[in-house]
Amino acid sequence: MKQNPIRSIPKIDSELSLEGPKDSFIEDIKTNEQLIKKRIPSKALQQKETKIGRYTKTRVKLLYIKGIVKEELVQDTWKKLENIIIDGVLDSSYLKRYLTEQFNIFPTIIATERPDKSSMALLEGKIVILVDNSPYALILPNFFQDFLHTTDDYYQKSFNTTFIRIIRLLAFIIAIYTPAIYISVTTRDYDLIPLPLLYTLKAGRSYVPFPAYIEAFFMITCFEILKESDLRMSTTTGSSISILGGLILGDAAVAAGIVSPIMIIVIAISSISGLIFQSIELGNALRIYKILFLILSTIFGIIGVGIGSILLISNLLKTKNMGFSYISLNNEMKNDFIIKKNTYKRNESLTKNRIRGR
């Protein structure tokens, strides 16, 4: 019998980690399932299979651990999968919009190439969906903190993990707030900064012909174009283009008097902070909020930053995923949000079987 061509299990490409296993999912659903079963050989690991796609008839498997996961979650997810009517499913990302309840700027489903991350999710009481021809497994439901954490957090010491999580949370805030605060203190709210700094900023901007917000939008656009072109180029030419783009944006633009050096620093810090997160969708959400905050601070000044903060927090609180609140601060969540404690209990929102170990 002729076998479909499949590639060998590669090393992890996108979700890099310092410690932990390095194997990755591939496009074959059977192999991916075996990678998880290798880690969780227990008979409690259950799976349900269906075919989705009128023409592609793509195999889709729903994995969960019986006794840990909530039955209602499995049934709700299965019902959603069964009700999908689509021509074809070419990748797991096709299923995302059917599994989310409402439009969300923030991501609610994790797509991962890592079998260890998928296995960890199953042990937490989550569901993993494998799709044939896709090297990405879908994990749901997820909370806001799941997008701030990485697999390295669970392989390193608590102290190191806590420190890195604080850095990530700061990066989240810096990515959104930095350009907006800069615009507000250089156009309306001069009182917020010390006088020597105000002189430095004024000197730096003295030759720039554009208003600060035009400069900011220009730099954000240039940075996004550079990032996008870097992704599409091959590794050999990509790095050369990146260096060229960086030099043009950085050095030449300042020398030509188009932008001020401080604006480049502000946008660079903000954009690099956004790259710290593995989730592309979270990066997109940060970009949207960065621009929203920029518009609000241009119109309202520092009050606009306050209005933006209210919108951001209300959006986070309003977001739901499979019936679970995106921000949920019960005890285990608090224990694991920033400070990593060695807790042997699972999240009570996800499961009633909370004891993980001793």
Query: Which residues here bind another protein, judged by CB under 8 A?
Result: 186-191, 195, 198-208, 211-212, 298-301, 303, 307
CB 100 within 8 A of CB 108: yes
Q: How far is the CB of 297 from another protein (least distance, A)?
A: 11
Q: Rg of the chain's alpha carbons, rounded to an integer?
A: 23
Token match 């995106």: residue? 326
Name the pairing type of β-strands 137-140 and 110-112: antiparallel
**What sections of the chain are H helices per DSSP?**
29-39, 71-82, 96-99, 115-124, 144-148, 158-187, 195-205, 212-232, 235-247, 253-255, 261-274, 280-300, 302-318, 331-337
Q: How far apart are CA 273 and CA 148, in angstroms?
A: 12
* Structure token digits, residue 37: 């079963």
Between 88 and 211, CB nearer to another protein: 211
Cα gap 287→271, rounded to integer Å: 8
Judged by CB, which is closer to another protein: 188, or 320?
188
Residues in a beta bridge with 355: 345
Which residue's CB is nearer to another protein, number 195 or number 355? Answer: 195
141 vs 301 by CB, closer to another protein? 301
CB of 303 to another protein, least distance (A): 6
| Nearer residue to another protein within complex by CB, 128 or 181 | 181
Position 153: which residue type? Answer: D
Distance CA 44, CA 119 (A): 13
CB of 187 to another protein, least distance (A): 5
Q: Cα–Cα distance between 36 and 117 in angstroms, integer?
A: 10
- Are the C-beta atoms of residues 47 and 37 closer than 8 Å to each other? no
Q: How far is the CB of 198 from another protein (least distance, A)?
A: 7
Joined together, the tokens standing for residue 158 give 């608590």
Strands of the chain (E only): list them.
Answer: 45-52, 58-65, 110-112, 127-131, 137-140, 320-321, 324-325
Specify which residues 51 forms β-bridges with. 59
3-state secondary structure of 325: strand
175 vs 212 by CB, closer to another protein: 212
Q: Which is nearer to another protein, 197 or 243 (CB)?
A: 197
Nearest-approach distance from CB 183 to another protein, in angstroms: 10
Closest to another protein by CB, 155 vs 190, is: 190
**CA distances (Å), 18 to each of 156, 241, 258, in order?**
9, 28, 41
Rounded to a whole number of angstroms, the minimum distance from the CB of residue 151 to another protein is 38
CB of 179 to another protein, least distance (A): 15
Closest distance of CB 265 from another protein, Å: 15
